[in-house]
A = this chain, B = another copy of it.
Protein backbone atom coordinates (compact mmCIF):
# COMPACT_ATOMS: atom_id res chain seq x y z
CA UNK A 1 0.00 0.00 0.00
CA UNK A 2 0.96 3.61 -0.38
CA UNK A 3 1.69 3.73 3.37
CA UNK A 4 3.37 1.68 6.04
CA UNK A 5 1.07 3.01 8.78
CA UNK A 6 -2.23 4.83 9.01
CA UNK A 7 -2.39 8.36 10.41
CA UNK A 8 -3.69 6.97 13.70
CA UNK A 9 -1.07 4.28 14.27
CA UNK A 10 2.23 5.78 15.36
CA UNK A 11 3.24 5.93 19.03
CA UNK A 12 6.34 6.88 20.97
CA UNK A 13 7.49 3.25 20.63
CA UNK A 14 7.86 3.86 16.90
CA UNK A 15 10.52 6.56 17.48
CA UNK A 16 13.33 6.51 14.90
CA UNK A 17 11.37 4.32 12.51
CA UNK A 18 11.20 5.27 8.88
CA UNK A 19 7.58 5.33 7.85
CA UNK A 20 5.37 6.18 4.90
CA UNK A 21 2.02 7.86 5.50
CA UNK A 22 -0.78 8.90 3.15
CA UNK A 23 -3.69 11.17 3.89
CA UNK A 24 -5.32 14.56 3.69
CA UNK A 25 -3.97 17.89 4.84
CA UNK A 26 -6.03 19.05 7.80
CA UNK A 27 -3.95 22.08 8.70
CA UNK A 28 -0.69 23.80 7.77
CA UNK A 29 1.34 25.99 10.13
CA UNK A 30 4.47 27.78 8.96
CA UNK A 31 6.34 30.01 11.36
CA UNK A 32 9.80 30.83 12.55
CA UNK A 33 11.46 28.53 10.05
CA UNK A 34 9.38 25.57 11.17
CA UNK A 35 6.49 24.05 9.26
CA UNK A 36 3.91 21.56 10.49
CA UNK A 37 1.23 19.76 8.57
CA UNK A 38 -1.56 17.76 10.23
CA UNK A 39 -2.13 14.73 8.02
CA UNK A 40 -5.55 13.10 8.42
CA UNK A 41 -7.15 9.82 7.50
CA UNK A 42 -10.03 7.71 8.86
CA UNK A 43 -7.83 6.43 11.66
CA UNK A 44 -6.45 9.67 13.04
CA UNK A 45 -4.15 12.62 12.59
CA UNK A 46 -0.36 12.62 12.53
CA UNK A 47 1.75 15.77 12.65
CA UNK A 48 4.36 16.15 9.90
CA UNK A 49 7.34 18.43 10.45
CA UNK A 50 9.75 20.37 8.24
CA UNK A 51 12.56 22.60 9.42
CA UNK A 52 14.60 25.20 7.57
CA UNK A 53 18.22 24.21 7.51
CA UNK A 54 17.44 20.55 8.14
CA UNK A 55 14.89 20.07 5.35
CA UNK A 56 16.10 20.77 1.80
CA UNK A 57 15.03 24.00 0.17
CA UNK A 58 13.39 22.01 -2.58
CA UNK A 59 11.31 20.01 -0.10
CA UNK A 60 10.30 23.15 1.77
CA UNK A 61 9.31 24.90 -1.43
CA UNK A 62 7.13 21.92 -2.35
CA UNK A 63 5.58 21.78 1.10
CA UNK A 64 4.72 25.46 0.92
CA UNK A 65 2.54 24.84 -2.13
CA UNK A 66 0.29 22.56 -0.16
CA UNK A 67 -3.21 23.61 0.86
CA UNK A 68 -5.97 22.15 2.94
CA UNK A 69 -7.37 18.80 1.74
CA UNK A 70 -4.43 18.07 -0.55
CA UNK A 71 -3.70 14.33 -0.67
CA UNK A 72 -0.12 13.58 0.31
CA UNK A 73 2.23 10.65 0.56
CA UNK A 74 5.23 11.29 2.81
CA UNK A 75 8.25 9.33 3.90
CA UNK A 76 10.07 10.31 7.03
CA UNK A 77 11.34 9.49 10.47
CA UNK A 78 9.24 9.25 13.61
CA UNK A 79 10.60 11.70 16.20
CA UNK A 80 9.48 12.62 19.67
CA UNK A 81 7.53 15.85 19.85
CA UNK A 82 8.85 18.81 21.76
CA UNK A 83 5.37 19.79 22.97
CA UNK A 84 3.08 16.78 23.21
CA UNK A 85 -0.62 16.78 22.41
CA UNK A 86 -2.58 14.49 24.66
CA UNK A 87 -5.81 15.06 22.76
CA UNK A 88 -4.80 12.73 19.94
CA UNK A 89 -3.43 9.20 20.15
CA UNK A 90 -0.41 10.08 18.03
CA UNK A 91 0.29 13.21 20.10
CA UNK A 92 3.65 12.07 21.46
CA UNK A 93 5.34 11.96 18.07
CA UNK A 94 5.67 13.71 14.78
CA UNK A 95 7.17 12.66 11.46
CA UNK A 96 10.20 14.54 10.18
CA UNK A 97 9.52 14.46 6.45
CA UNK A 98 12.25 13.38 4.05
CA UNK A 99 10.20 12.84 0.91
CA UNK A 100 6.92 14.33 -0.14
CA UNK A 101 4.56 13.41 -3.01
CA UNK A 102 1.43 15.33 -3.77
CA UNK A 103 -0.91 12.52 -4.80
CA UNK A 104 -3.67 14.96 -5.63
CA UNK A 105 -4.26 18.67 -5.23
CA UNK A 106 -7.49 20.09 -3.81
CA UNK A 107 -9.47 23.20 -4.48
CA UNK A 108 -10.60 25.08 -1.39
CA UNK A 109 -13.65 23.16 -0.15
CA UNK A 110 -16.97 25.04 -0.13
CA UNK A 111 -17.09 24.64 3.66
CA UNK A 112 -14.51 23.83 6.32
CA UNK A 113 -13.78 20.18 6.98
CA UNK A 114 -13.95 20.49 10.77
CA UNK A 115 -16.22 19.04 13.44
CA UNK A 116 -17.87 22.45 13.61
CA UNK A 117 -18.29 23.43 10.00
CA UNK A 118 -19.43 26.68 8.47
CA UNK A 119 -21.44 24.88 5.77
CA UNK A 120 -25.24 25.08 5.68
CA UNK A 121 -27.27 21.91 5.24
CA UNK A 122 -28.08 22.27 1.53
CA UNK A 123 -24.43 22.94 0.69
CA UNK A 124 -23.28 19.99 2.74
CA UNK A 125 -25.87 17.76 1.02
CA UNK A 126 -24.65 18.90 -2.39
CA UNK A 127 -21.06 18.08 -1.44
CA UNK A 128 -21.97 15.13 0.73
CA UNK A 129 -18.64 13.45 -0.14
CA UNK A 130 -16.89 16.36 1.61
CA UNK A 131 -19.31 16.43 4.54
CA UNK A 132 -18.58 12.71 5.04
CA UNK A 133 -14.92 13.66 5.43
CA UNK A 134 -15.70 15.35 8.74
CA UNK A 135 -14.93 13.02 11.65
CA UNK A 136 -18.23 13.66 13.42
CA UNK A 137 -20.16 12.60 10.33
CA UNK A 138 -18.00 9.62 9.47
CA UNK A 139 -18.24 8.36 13.04
CA UNK A 140 -22.01 8.17 12.70
CA UNK A 141 -21.61 5.79 9.78
CA UNK A 142 -18.98 3.82 11.66
CA UNK A 143 -21.56 3.40 14.44
CA UNK A 144 -24.01 2.17 11.82
CA UNK A 145 -21.46 -0.34 10.56
CA UNK A 146 -20.93 -1.63 14.10
CA UNK A 147 -24.65 -1.98 14.71
CA UNK A 148 -25.07 -3.92 11.46
CA UNK A 149 -22.27 -6.32 12.20
CA UNK A 150 -23.38 -6.87 15.80
CA UNK A 151 -26.99 -7.43 14.73
CA UNK A 152 -25.89 -10.10 12.28
CA UNK A 153 -23.67 -11.73 14.87
CA UNK A 154 -26.53 -12.02 17.34
CA UNK A 155 -29.04 -13.25 14.80
CA UNK A 156 -26.58 -15.82 13.44
CA UNK A 157 -25.85 -17.05 16.97
CA UNK A 158 -29.60 -17.47 17.49
CA UNK A 159 -29.86 -19.67 14.37
CA UNK A 160 -31.61 -17.09 12.22
CA UNK A 161 -30.90 -17.42 8.50
CA UNK A 162 -30.35 -14.27 6.50
CA UNK A 163 -32.35 -14.58 3.30
CA UNK A 164 -32.53 -11.91 0.61
CA UNK A 165 -36.06 -11.29 -0.60
CA UNK A 166 -36.76 -9.67 -3.97
CA UNK A 167 -36.68 -5.92 -4.58
CA UNK A 168 -38.69 -6.13 -7.78
CA UNK A 169 -42.08 -7.27 -6.54
CA UNK A 170 -45.71 -6.42 -7.19
CA UNK A 171 -47.77 -3.37 -6.39
CA UNK A 172 -50.43 -3.87 -3.71
CA UNK A 173 -53.94 -2.44 -3.73
CA UNK A 174 -53.04 -0.12 -0.89
CA UNK A 175 -50.08 0.65 -3.09
CA UNK A 176 -50.59 4.37 -3.63
CA UNK A 177 -47.35 4.65 -1.71
CA UNK A 178 -45.52 2.05 -3.81
CA UNK A 179 -42.67 3.07 -6.05
CA UNK A 180 -43.17 1.25 -9.34
CA UNK A 181 -40.74 0.08 -12.01
CA UNK A 182 -41.99 -0.18 -15.58
CA UNK A 183 -41.07 -3.39 -17.40
CA UNK A 184 -39.43 -3.05 -20.78
CA UNK A 185 -40.19 -6.62 -21.79
CA UNK A 186 -43.73 -6.84 -20.48
CA UNK A 187 -45.49 -3.88 -22.06
CA UNK A 188 -47.75 -1.88 -19.76
CA UNK A 189 -46.71 -3.88 -16.71
CA UNK A 190 -44.83 -2.77 -13.62
CA UNK A 191 -42.83 -4.17 -10.77
CA UNK A 192 -43.09 -2.41 -7.41
CA UNK A 193 -40.45 -1.81 -4.79
CA UNK A 194 -41.29 -3.38 -1.40
CA UNK A 195 -42.54 -1.28 1.48
CA UNK A 196 -41.44 -4.30 3.50
CA UNK A 197 -40.67 -7.96 2.75
CA UNK A 198 -43.75 -8.96 4.77
CA UNK A 199 -45.34 -11.56 2.51
CA UNK A 200 -42.01 -13.08 1.52
CA UNK A 201 -40.90 -13.61 5.08
CA UNK A 202 -44.21 -15.25 5.83
CA UNK A 203 -43.71 -17.54 2.84
CA UNK A 204 -40.28 -18.44 4.22
CA UNK A 205 -42.03 -19.57 7.38
CA UNK A 206 -44.39 -21.69 5.27
CA UNK A 207 -41.21 -23.08 3.69
CA UNK A 208 -39.93 -24.17 7.09
CA UNK A 209 -37.06 -21.69 7.32
CA UNK A 210 -38.02 -21.44 11.00
CA UNK A 211 -36.02 -18.30 11.78
CA UNK A 212 -35.39 -15.62 9.19
CA UNK A 213 -33.79 -12.21 9.26
CA UNK A 214 -32.57 -9.64 6.82
CA UNK A 215 -31.16 -6.13 6.98
CA UNK A 216 -32.95 -4.77 3.97
CA UNK A 217 -33.82 -1.63 2.04
CA UNK A 218 -37.50 -0.76 1.88
CA UNK A 219 -39.25 1.98 -0.04
CA UNK A 220 -42.21 4.26 0.52
CA UNK A 221 -43.27 7.05 -1.79
CA UNK A 222 -45.01 9.18 0.78
CA UNK A 223 -45.09 12.88 1.22
CA UNK A 224 -41.93 13.34 3.12
CA UNK A 225 -41.69 14.73 6.56
CA UNK A 226 -38.49 16.15 7.94
CA UNK A 227 -37.37 12.80 9.23
CA UNK A 228 -38.55 10.38 6.57
CA UNK A 229 -36.62 9.03 3.62
CA UNK A 230 -38.09 7.40 0.49
CA UNK A 231 -35.67 4.52 0.98
CA UNK A 232 -34.93 3.24 4.45
CA UNK A 233 -33.42 0.17 6.06
CA UNK A 234 -35.15 -2.42 8.22
CA UNK A 235 -33.94 -5.24 10.38
CA UNK A 236 -36.64 -7.67 9.34
CA UNK A 237 -37.25 -10.87 11.33
CA UNK A 238 -39.67 -13.76 11.49
CA UNK A 239 -39.92 -16.95 13.58
CA UNK A 240 -42.09 -20.06 13.48
CA UNK A 241 -43.71 -22.05 16.26
CA UNK A 242 -43.63 -19.06 18.56
CA UNK A 243 -45.95 -17.16 20.80
CA UNK A 244 -45.68 -13.46 21.49
CA UNK A 245 -43.57 -14.07 24.59
CA UNK A 246 -40.86 -15.84 22.55
CA UNK A 247 -40.56 -12.91 20.18
CA UNK A 248 -40.43 -10.33 22.95
CA UNK A 249 -37.64 -12.26 24.68
CA UNK A 250 -35.63 -12.85 21.51
CA UNK A 251 -35.61 -9.23 20.44
CA UNK A 252 -35.23 -7.78 23.88
CA UNK A 253 -32.13 -9.96 23.82
CA UNK A 254 -31.00 -8.45 20.52
CA UNK A 255 -31.30 -4.88 21.74
CA UNK A 256 -29.55 -5.64 25.04
CA UNK A 257 -26.76 -7.30 23.06
CA UNK A 258 -26.41 -4.25 20.81
CA UNK A 259 -26.20 -1.87 23.76
CA UNK A 260 -23.57 -4.08 25.38
CA UNK A 261 -21.50 -4.67 22.24
CA UNK A 262 -21.69 -1.24 20.67
CA UNK A 263 -22.04 1.12 23.64
CA UNK A 264 -20.76 -1.02 26.51
CA UNK A 265 -24.01 -0.39 28.42
CA UNK A 266 -26.10 -2.97 30.28
CA UNK A 267 -29.65 -1.75 29.87
CA UNK A 268 -32.49 -2.73 32.18
CA UNK A 269 -35.16 -5.32 31.45
CA UNK A 270 -37.90 -3.95 29.26
CA UNK A 271 -41.03 -2.61 30.88
CA UNK A 272 -44.27 -3.78 29.38
CA UNK A 273 -47.57 -1.99 29.13
CA UNK A 274 -50.70 -2.32 27.07
CA UNK A 275 -51.62 0.14 24.40
CA UNK A 276 -54.66 1.16 26.46
CA UNK A 277 -52.49 1.83 29.49
CA UNK A 278 -49.98 3.83 27.45
CA UNK A 279 -52.74 5.98 25.97
CA UNK A 280 -54.44 6.53 29.32
CA UNK A 281 -51.34 7.41 31.28
CA UNK A 282 -49.06 8.93 28.66
CA UNK A 283 -51.38 9.88 25.82
CA UNK A 284 -49.06 8.13 23.38
CA UNK A 285 -48.35 4.64 22.09
CA UNK A 286 -44.66 5.41 22.48
CA UNK A 287 -44.24 6.94 25.93
CA UNK A 288 -40.85 8.22 27.02
CA UNK A 289 -40.25 6.49 30.37
CA UNK A 290 -37.06 8.30 31.25
CA UNK A 291 -39.30 10.39 33.47
CA UNK A 292 -42.64 9.98 35.24
CA UNK A 293 -45.43 12.55 35.16
CA UNK A 294 -48.15 10.06 34.26
CA UNK A 295 -51.57 11.45 33.46
CA UNK A 296 -54.07 11.76 36.30
CA UNK A 297 -57.70 11.83 35.24
CA UNK A 298 -59.67 14.37 37.25
CA UNK A 299 -63.17 13.94 35.76
CA UNK A 300 -64.75 12.87 39.03
CA UNK A 301 -63.03 15.54 41.08
CA UNK A 302 -63.30 18.43 38.68
CA UNK A 303 -66.77 18.15 37.24
CA UNK A 304 -69.96 19.55 38.78
CA UNK A 305 -68.42 22.71 40.18
CA UNK A 306 -69.92 25.05 37.62
CA UNK A 307 -66.70 25.38 35.63
CA UNK A 308 -68.28 25.04 32.23
CA UNK A 309 -65.10 24.13 30.37
CA UNK A 310 -64.52 21.06 32.53
CA UNK A 311 -68.20 20.19 32.83
CA UNK A 312 -68.52 19.94 29.08
CA UNK A 313 -65.21 18.13 28.58
CA UNK A 314 -65.07 14.42 27.90
CA UNK A 315 -61.76 14.29 29.76
CA UNK A 316 -60.10 16.43 32.41
CA UNK A 317 -56.53 15.33 32.86
CA UNK A 318 -53.51 16.56 34.80
CA UNK A 319 -49.80 15.98 35.08
CA UNK A 320 -47.73 16.90 38.07
CA UNK A 321 -44.59 18.89 37.30
CA UNK A 322 -42.41 18.40 40.34
CA UNK A 323 -40.76 21.46 41.89
CA UNK A 324 -42.40 23.92 39.54
CA UNK A 325 -44.75 25.71 41.93
CA UNK A 326 -42.76 28.89 41.67
CA UNK A 327 -43.15 29.21 37.91
CA UNK A 328 -43.69 32.88 37.03
CA UNK A 329 -46.67 34.31 35.20
CA UNK A 330 -44.43 34.54 32.15
CA UNK A 331 -43.44 30.88 32.34
CA UNK A 332 -47.04 29.80 32.74
CA UNK A 333 -48.12 32.01 29.84
CA UNK A 334 -45.40 30.41 27.71
CA UNK A 335 -46.73 26.94 28.54
CA UNK A 336 -50.25 28.06 27.63
CA UNK A 337 -48.99 29.46 24.35
CA UNK A 338 -47.15 26.20 23.74
CA UNK A 339 -50.23 23.99 24.04
CA UNK A 340 -52.31 26.45 22.00
CA UNK A 341 -49.94 26.34 19.02
CA UNK A 342 -51.73 25.04 15.92
CA UNK A 343 -49.54 21.89 15.82
CA UNK A 344 -50.90 20.97 19.26
CA UNK A 345 -54.22 22.76 19.37
CA UNK A 346 -55.34 22.81 22.99
CA UNK A 347 -57.89 25.50 23.87
CA UNK A 348 -56.14 26.55 27.07
CA UNK A 349 -54.22 25.41 30.10
CA UNK A 350 -55.27 25.30 33.74
CA UNK A 351 -52.59 25.29 36.42
CA UNK A 352 -52.58 24.61 40.15
CA UNK A 353 -49.55 25.71 42.13
CA UNK A 354 -49.00 23.57 45.22
CA UNK A 355 -47.34 26.23 47.31
CA UNK A 356 -44.60 25.38 49.76
CA UNK A 357 -46.81 26.55 52.64
CA UNK A 358 -49.45 23.90 51.79
CA UNK A 359 -51.87 26.30 50.09
CA UNK A 360 -52.91 26.15 46.45
CA UNK A 361 -53.06 28.81 43.78
CA UNK A 362 -54.78 28.00 40.51
CA UNK A 363 -56.06 29.68 37.39
CA UNK A 364 -59.52 28.38 38.31
CA UNK A 365 -59.74 29.62 41.88
CA UNK A 366 -63.12 31.08 41.03
CA UNK A 367 -64.61 27.62 40.74
CA UNK A 368 -62.55 25.47 43.06
CA UNK A 369 -61.72 26.05 46.73
CA UNK A 370 -58.60 24.91 48.56
CA UNK A 371 -60.21 21.59 49.53
CA UNK A 372 -61.18 20.89 45.95
CA UNK A 373 -57.67 21.60 44.78
CA UNK A 374 -56.25 19.45 47.54
CA UNK A 375 -58.19 16.46 46.20
CA UNK A 376 -56.59 17.07 42.81
CA UNK A 377 -53.15 17.35 44.33
CA UNK A 378 -53.67 14.16 46.30
CA UNK A 379 -54.89 12.31 43.22
CA UNK A 380 -51.76 13.42 41.39
CA UNK A 381 -49.49 12.68 44.34
CA UNK A 382 -48.39 16.31 44.24
CA UNK A 383 -46.32 17.68 47.12
CA UNK A 384 -45.84 21.25 48.21
CA UNK A 385 -43.59 22.84 45.61
CA UNK A 386 -45.16 20.99 42.68
CA UNK A 387 -47.26 22.32 39.84
CA UNK A 388 -50.34 20.66 38.35
CA UNK A 389 -51.02 21.28 34.68
CA UNK A 390 -54.55 20.45 33.55
CA UNK A 391 -56.05 20.07 30.07
CA UNK A 392 -59.58 19.16 29.07
CA UNK A 393 -61.67 18.35 26.02
CA UNK A 394 -62.27 15.34 23.81
CA UNK A 395 -60.43 12.31 25.15
CA UNK A 396 -58.19 11.49 22.19
CA UNK A 397 -57.25 15.05 21.36
CA UNK A 398 -56.70 16.04 25.00
CA UNK A 399 -54.43 13.07 25.57
CA UNK A 400 -52.45 14.02 22.51
CA UNK A 401 -52.06 17.58 23.74
CA UNK A 402 -51.11 16.44 27.22
CA UNK A 403 -48.54 14.04 25.79
CA UNK A 404 -46.85 16.96 24.04
CA UNK A 405 -46.97 19.04 27.19
CA UNK A 406 -45.53 16.19 29.23
CA UNK A 407 -42.62 15.84 26.80
CA UNK A 408 -42.02 19.57 26.87
CA UNK A 409 -41.93 19.55 30.67
CA UNK A 410 -39.54 16.59 30.49
CA UNK A 411 -37.27 18.68 28.28
CA UNK A 412 -37.59 21.83 30.36
CA UNK A 413 -36.81 19.94 33.56
CA UNK A 414 -33.91 18.14 31.85
CA UNK A 415 -35.37 14.73 32.55
CA UNK A 416 -34.68 13.33 29.07
CA UNK A 417 -31.00 12.50 29.30
CA UNK A 418 -29.53 11.21 26.03
CA UNK A 419 -27.38 8.73 27.87
CA UNK A 420 -30.22 7.09 29.77
CA UNK A 421 -32.16 4.38 27.94
CA UNK A 422 -35.60 3.22 29.06
CA UNK A 423 -36.85 0.41 26.86
CA UNK A 424 -40.45 -0.68 26.75
CA UNK A 425 -42.77 -3.10 24.98
CA UNK A 426 -46.20 -1.70 24.20
CA UNK A 427 -48.63 -4.61 23.82
CA UNK A 428 -52.18 -5.37 22.71
CA UNK A 429 -52.54 -2.80 19.98
CA UNK A 430 -55.96 -2.47 18.37
CA UNK A 431 -56.27 -4.61 15.25
CA UNK A 432 -58.10 -1.99 13.21
CA UNK A 433 -58.40 1.74 13.14
CA UNK A 434 -61.19 3.72 11.59
CA UNK A 435 -60.22 5.99 8.73
CA UNK A 436 -62.47 9.01 8.38
CA UNK A 437 -61.34 9.83 4.85
CA UNK A 438 -62.12 6.47 3.29
CA UNK A 439 -64.88 5.67 5.81
CA UNK A 440 -63.54 2.22 6.46
CA UNK A 441 -61.25 0.32 8.77
CA UNK A 442 -57.54 0.11 8.10
CA UNK A 443 -55.18 -2.41 9.64
CA UNK A 444 -53.28 -0.66 12.39
CA UNK A 445 -50.13 -2.72 11.74
CA UNK A 446 -50.91 -4.55 8.48
CA UNK A 447 -53.51 -6.99 7.17
CA UNK A 448 -51.52 -10.04 8.25
CA UNK A 449 -51.64 -9.32 11.98
CA UNK A 450 -53.65 -11.84 14.01
CA UNK A 451 -56.43 -10.81 16.35
CA UNK A 452 -56.50 -12.03 19.94
CA UNK A 453 -58.66 -15.16 19.81
CA UNK A 454 -60.78 -13.98 22.73
CA UNK A 455 -61.71 -10.79 20.83
CA UNK A 456 -62.63 -12.49 17.58
CA UNK A 457 -66.33 -12.48 18.43
CA UNK A 458 -66.31 -8.69 18.09
CA UNK A 459 -65.58 -8.85 14.39
CA UNK A 460 -69.18 -8.28 13.36
CA UNK A 461 -70.31 -6.09 16.26
CA UNK A 462 -67.44 -3.82 17.27
CA UNK A 463 -64.36 -4.48 15.13
CA UNK A 464 -62.60 -1.36 16.41
CA UNK A 465 -62.38 -3.00 19.83
CA UNK A 466 -60.55 -6.12 18.67
CA UNK A 467 -57.07 -6.29 20.12
CA UNK A 468 -54.24 -7.68 18.04
CA UNK A 469 -51.30 -9.87 18.93
CA UNK A 470 -49.17 -6.87 18.07
CA UNK A 471 -46.38 -5.12 19.90
CA UNK A 472 -44.03 -2.19 19.50
CA UNK A 473 -40.59 -1.72 20.95
CA UNK A 474 -40.18 1.80 22.27
CA UNK A 475 -37.03 3.34 23.70
CA UNK A 476 -37.06 6.84 25.17
CA UNK A 477 -40.28 7.70 23.41
CA UNK A 478 -39.07 6.53 20.00
CA UNK A 479 -40.66 3.58 18.23
CA UNK A 480 -37.71 1.39 17.32
CA UNK A 481 -39.59 -1.60 16.01
CA UNK A 482 -42.88 -3.38 15.91
CA UNK A 483 -44.44 -6.64 14.93
CA UNK A 484 -47.10 -9.19 15.50
CA UNK A 485 -48.11 -12.79 15.56
CA UNK A 486 -49.47 -13.39 12.07
CA UNK A 487 -52.54 -15.06 10.76
CA UNK A 488 -51.62 -18.50 9.40
CA UNK A 489 -55.04 -19.71 8.42
CA UNK A 490 -56.74 -19.03 5.10
CA UNK A 491 -60.24 -18.52 6.47
CA UNK A 492 -59.18 -16.01 9.06
CA UNK A 493 -56.98 -14.16 6.56
CA UNK A 494 -59.92 -13.95 4.16
CA UNK A 495 -62.14 -12.58 6.96
CA UNK A 496 -59.50 -10.00 7.70
CA UNK A 497 -59.29 -8.89 4.07
CA UNK A 498 -63.08 -8.62 4.06
CA UNK A 499 -63.07 -6.49 7.22
CA UNK A 500 -60.59 -4.20 5.45
CA UNK A 501 -62.94 -3.76 2.53
CA UNK A 502 -61.29 -6.06 -0.01
CA UNK A 503 -63.58 -7.96 -2.33
CA UNK A 504 -62.71 -11.68 -2.53
CA UNK A 505 -61.46 -11.05 -6.09
CA UNK A 506 -59.15 -8.25 -5.00
CA UNK A 507 -57.81 -10.33 -2.13
CA UNK A 508 -57.15 -13.23 -4.47
CA UNK A 509 -55.54 -11.11 -7.18
CA UNK A 510 -53.15 -9.43 -4.76
CA UNK A 511 -52.48 -12.05 -2.14
CA UNK A 512 -53.69 -15.28 -3.72
CA UNK A 513 -50.20 -16.76 -3.43
CA UNK A 514 -50.22 -16.20 0.33
CA UNK A 515 -53.76 -17.50 0.80
CA UNK A 516 -52.80 -20.57 -1.22
CA UNK A 517 -49.64 -21.02 0.80
CA UNK A 518 -51.71 -21.13 4.01
CA UNK A 519 -53.39 -24.27 2.68
CA UNK A 520 -50.19 -26.27 2.29
CA UNK A 521 -49.15 -26.47 5.92
CA UNK A 522 -48.43 -23.00 7.33
CA UNK A 523 -46.97 -22.99 10.83
CA UNK A 524 -47.91 -20.48 13.53
CA UNK A 525 -45.45 -17.62 13.14
CA UNK A 526 -44.72 -14.05 14.02
CA UNK A 527 -42.03 -11.46 13.75
CA UNK A 528 -40.82 -7.97 14.08
CA UNK A 529 -39.19 -5.24 12.02
CA UNK A 530 -36.89 -2.54 13.31
CA UNK A 531 -36.32 0.82 11.69
CA UNK A 532 -32.56 0.54 11.37
CA UNK A 533 -31.91 4.18 10.50
CA UNK A 534 -33.82 5.25 13.61
CA UNK A 535 -32.07 2.63 15.73
CA UNK A 536 -28.73 4.07 14.62
CA UNK A 537 -29.85 7.62 15.43
CA UNK A 538 -31.04 6.49 18.85
CA UNK A 539 -27.73 4.81 19.57
CA UNK A 540 -25.94 7.92 18.38
CA UNK A 541 -28.07 10.14 20.62
CA UNK A 542 -29.51 12.05 17.68
CA UNK A 543 -33.05 12.86 16.60
CA UNK A 544 -32.21 12.93 12.90
CA UNK A 545 -32.00 9.73 10.90
CA UNK A 546 -30.56 11.58 7.94
CA UNK A 547 -27.17 11.93 9.61
CA UNK A 548 -26.95 8.14 9.78
CA UNK A 549 -27.49 7.59 6.06
CA UNK A 550 -24.44 7.87 3.83
CA UNK A 551 -26.22 9.53 0.90
CA UNK A 552 -29.60 10.78 2.11
CA UNK A 553 -32.26 12.52 0.06
CA UNK A 554 -33.65 15.90 1.03
CA UNK A 555 -37.19 16.67 2.21
CA UNK A 556 -38.42 16.68 -1.36
CA UNK A 557 -37.00 13.19 -1.96
CA UNK A 558 -34.25 14.61 -4.12
CA UNK A 559 -30.58 13.66 -4.13
CA UNK A 560 -29.06 17.09 -4.63
CA UNK A 561 -25.55 15.70 -5.05
CA UNK A 562 -26.25 13.58 -8.14
CA UNK A 563 -29.32 15.64 -9.10
CA UNK A 564 -31.86 12.85 -9.05
CA UNK A 565 -34.63 12.20 -9.98
CA UNK A 566 -34.03 13.50 -13.50
CA UNK A 567 -35.56 13.29 -16.93
CA UNK A 568 -34.77 10.31 -19.14
CA UNK A 569 -34.46 10.23 -22.92
CA UNK A 570 -37.31 9.85 -25.35
CA UNK A 571 -35.70 6.60 -26.49
CA UNK A 572 -35.80 5.22 -22.98
CA UNK A 573 -39.44 6.22 -22.58
CA UNK A 574 -40.27 4.56 -25.88
CA UNK A 575 -38.52 1.36 -24.89
CA UNK A 576 -40.60 1.36 -21.71
CA UNK A 577 -43.85 1.97 -23.65
CA UNK A 578 -44.53 5.13 -21.66
CA UNK A 579 -45.29 8.75 -22.24
CA UNK A 580 -45.37 11.66 -19.83
CA UNK A 581 -48.79 13.09 -19.23
CA UNK A 582 -49.25 16.32 -17.31
Interface residues of A (CB under 8 A from B): 1-3, 6, 22-25, 40-43, 69-71, 73, 103-107, 109, 127-130, 132-133, 138, 141-142, 144-145, 148-149, 152, 156, 161-171, 175-176, 178-193, 199-200, 203-204, 206-210, 217, 219, 221, 223, 230-231, 233, 240-243, 246, 488-489, 513, 517-524, 549-551, 553, 556-559, 561-568, 571-572, 574-582
Contact = CB atoms under 8 A, between A and B. Distances in A.
Most buried by B among A41, A166, A179, A230: A166
A562 B161 contact: no
Given A167-B217, A231-B167, A565-B189, A129 B206 contact: yes
A241 B557 contact: no
Copies in the complex: 2
Given A550-B204, A557-B186, A577-B581, A566 B2 contact: no
Contacts of A170: 559, 562-566
A517 B553 CA distance: 18
Contacts of A579: 578-579, 581
Contacts of A23: 208
Given A22-B241, A103-B523, A170-B559, 15 more contacts: A1-B242, A2-B241, A104-B521, A104-B522, A141-B209, A167-B167, A167-B219, A168-B230, A169-B562, A169-B564, A171-B566, A176-B572, A183-B557, A192-B568, A577-B582
Across chains A and B, which 3 residue pairs bring their CB atoms closest together, nearest first? A106-B521, A132-B207, A170-B564
Given A163-B141, A564-B191, A557 B185 contact: yes
* Residue from A104, A520, A566 with most neighbouring chain B CB atoms (10 Å): A520
Nearest to A242: B1
Contacts of A156: 145, 149
Given A171-B568, A219-B167, A576-B180, A186 B106 contact: no
A550 B582 contact: no
Given A161-B142, A164-B233, A208-B41, A559 B169 contact: yes
Contact of A522 (B71, B145, B182): B71
A545 to B, nearest CB: 13
Contacts of A243: 1-2
Nearest to A576: B180
Contact of A208 (B133, B189, B223): B133
Given A186-B558, A190-B565, A521-B104, A149 B162 contact: yes
21 contacts: A1-B242, A40-B208, A71-B523, A103-B524, A104-B518, A104-B522, A105-B519, A106-B520, A129-B206, A130-B206, A133-B207, A149-B162, A166-B559, A168-B219, A169-B562, A170-B565, A171-B566, A180-B568, A199-B562, A577-B580, A579-B579
B188 A161 contact: no
Nearest to A250: B1
A578 to B, nearest CB: 5
A189 B566 contact: yes
A199 B561 CA distance: 12
Contact of A567 (B2, B142, B190): B190
A576 B175 CA distance: 12
A581 B182 CA distance: 12
A520 B111 CA distance: 11
A217 to B, nearest CB: 5
B185 A556 contact: yes
B217 A164 contact: yes
Of A156, A568, A575, which is in contact with the most chain B CB atoms at under 10 Å from its CB?
Answer: A568
Contacts of A40: 208
Contact of A163 (B70, B145, B567): B145
B577 A578 contact: no
Contact of A553 (B6, B168, B567): B168
A558 B191 CA distance: 9
Contacts of A189: 565-567
A103 B524 CA distance: 7
Contact of A188 (B6, B69, B206, B580): B580
A134 to B, nearest CB: 9
A24 B241 contact: no
Contacts of A553: 166, 168
Nearest to A246: B1
A24 B489 CA distance: 16
A1 B241 contact: yes
A3 B580 CA distance: 56
A144 B162 CA distance: 8
A204 B69 contact: no
Contacts of A574: 581
Contacts of A488: 104
Given A180-B182, A181-B181, A190 B242 contact: no
Given A2-B242, A170-B565, A42 B186 contact: no
A18 to B, nearest CB: 18
A221 B191 CA distance: 12
A147 B233 CA distance: 22
B162 A145 contact: yes
B129 A582 contact: no
B149 A209 contact: no
Contacts of A208: 23-24, 40-42, 132-133, 138
A175 B567 contact: no
A303 B122 CA distance: 71
A232 to B, nearest CB: 10
